[in-house]
Structure 1
Amino acid sequence: MEAARVVTVSDRSARGERPDATGPVLVARLREAGWDAAGALVPDGADSVRAAIAEAVASGARLVVTTGGTGIGPRDETPEGTAPLLARTLPGIPEEIRRRGGSHGMLSRALAGIATGPGGRGALVANLPGSPGGAADGLDVVLSVAAHVLSQLDGGDHDAAAHRAATA
């Protein structure tokens, strides 16, 4: 069972002013999908996001999803915290999440890509919206390719049979 980490990015939740309505839902969905999932909560800002993702990858997480901070508000800096950690970008993932997100999806600045973990092992990192519904829909997109991405990072083949086996 691969490890996954959900990083909720929210000033108000980090200060205890509002419960985290999204992170626990994503952790539960990841566990249902067979991942060893845990959550973390950090305030908005590039530095806090970068530190949380880096810690998750360093601890062996193969999938890291953030939720929140991808919009255009003054403290929305999740993409800025994510970008320096990505050795390769995977623009198709956030493009598909934006496509499914309707008119508000167009305002997302989310990123996805590969970060390098211990021993050079890759991890899939994806920024998701902060709303519970948007994050759940975004997680569906990520999960639709996550097994194949990890298989590829571990040297797997590109053929259709290998892809079906990785995503079954």
Structure 2
Amino acid sequence: MTTTRQAAVVTVSDRSAAGVRDDASGPLAAQLLGIDGWDTSVTVVPDDVTAIRAAVATAIAAGARLVVTSGGTGISRRDVTPEAMDTLLDRELPGIAEELRRRGAEHLPAAMLSRGRAGLHGTALVVNLPGSPGAVRDGIPVIVSVAGHVLDQLDGQDHG
């Protein structure tokens, strides 16, 4: 019996949320997750802690077991996605964020400046990616390489 895995992508961008710029990273993340068998929705929110938290929590309440955010992980004043995770993540999984930065820096040294985080909210995995198609292309394979194992562990399966 095959079960559909539910995921959500939350694009964090003032300009995309205002309709000034098309969201390039969110649909790409959904496409790449779809290739790996995830049924994925995309939501766009502004760079606002409350809006980011609400979008992630809403996605999880609707059944998403994996939530990938794209955007808001940098060092500008409006980059607040990591701060939105402060009260959202129950447990951090720093190795995922570290690997995302390492892989990104192989192509673009500025990827080291990403403050993205990864962790658990209830029985869901939440991972922050920078807001560019390149970061999504580099990051989604890292995420899907461990997401199934993370969810198996959360569901009480053995380490096998």
C-alpha RMSD of the superposition: 0.8
Within 1, Cα distance between the matches of 2:59 and 2:70?
Answer: 14
What TM-score do the two structures reach when normalised by structure 1?
Answer: 0.90
Deviations 1:93-141 (A, max 9, x none): 000000111121210110100001xxxxx00000001110112211111
Number of the residue aligned with 2:67: 64
CA drift of 1:32 comes to 1.2
Number of the residue aligned with 1:142: 143
Number of the residue aligned with 1:119: none
For 1:101, what is the secondary structure of its paired residue?
helix
Number of the residue aligned with 1:28: 31
Deviates more, 1:141-150 or 1:81-90: 81-90
Give the ranges of 4+ consecutive aligned residues of structure 1 lying more than 2 Å apart after TM superposition. none
Tell me whether 1:90 sits opposite 2:96 in the alignment: no
Number of the residue aligned with 2:120: 114
For 1:141, what is the secondary structure of its paired residue?
helix
Within 2, Cα distance between the matches of 1:114 and 1:47?
Answer: 18
Tell me whether 1:9 sits opposite 2:12 in the alignment: yes
Gaps of 5+ in 1: 117-121, 160-168
Contact 1:53–1:82 (CA under 8 A) maintained in structure 2: no
Within 2, Cα distance between the matches of 1:58 and 1:68?
Answer: 22
Number of the residue aligned with 1:77: 80
Larger relative contact order (Cα-Cα within 8 Å, sequence gap ≥ 6): 2
Number of the residue aligned with 2:110: 104
Number of the residue aligned with 1:19: 22
For 2:8, what is the secondary structure of its paired residue?
strand
For 1:148, what is the secondary structure of its paired residue?
helix
Within 2, Cα distance between the matches of 1:68 and 1:105?
Answer: 12
Number of the residue aligned with 1:130: 131
CA drift of 1:85 comes to 1.0
Within 1, Cα distance between the matches of 2:22 and 2:71?
Answer: 14
CA drift of 1:83 comes to 2.4
For 1:85, what is the secondary structure of its paired residue?
coil
Q: How many residues align?
A: 154
Within 1, Cα distance between the matches of 2:101 and 2:143?
Answer: 12
Number of the residue aligned with 1:162: none
